[in-house]
Amino acid sequence: MIDFVVKWGSEYVALRIQTQYFHVFTDARTQAYDTLQRSRLAQFDRVMDLYDQNFIHDKSGKAAILSVRKALANEPEPNPLLTGMPLRTDSAFEKRTA
């Protein structure tokens, strides 16, 4: 699933928000489907994944802007599953919405 499409110069960049609930702390079948889906998005020049653990804790929104800026500059965020560093963001989210 694509969350946003940005026309950046002559490119169409698809941005996918990868959340802990649906993409990171999930079963292998869902993770495999995410990988397959990414490969099927060939109509876009680039598909970039943004991980909520990198910005959900920031009340100002600056971390989210930085994530998008890096994606548009073709600087992919490391996949937390591949780096072995996934973070649970429950407490940060609860604090943010309180």
Segment 82-98 shows an average pLDDT of 53
- Predicted confidence at residue 93, as pLDDT, reads 47
Sign of torsion, CA 71 98 95 91?
negative
Segment 47-61 shows an average pLDDT of 87
E-only strand ranges, the chain = 4-8, 11-18, 46-51
More confident residue, 82 or 20: 20
User: Coil, helix or strand for 86?
Assistant: coil
Contacts of 75-80 with C-beta under 8 Å, sequence gap 24+, read: 76/48, 76/49, 77/48, 77/49, 77/50, 77/51, 79/49, 79/51, 80/24, 80/51, 80/53
Segment 31-54 shows an average pLDDT of 79
Q: Residue 12 pLDDT > 60, yes or no?
A: yes
Q: What percent of the chain has pLDDT over 70?
A: 70
* Domain tally, the chain: 1
Domain containing 53: what range? 4-97
pTM of the model: 0.66
Segment 56-83 shows an average pLDDT of 86
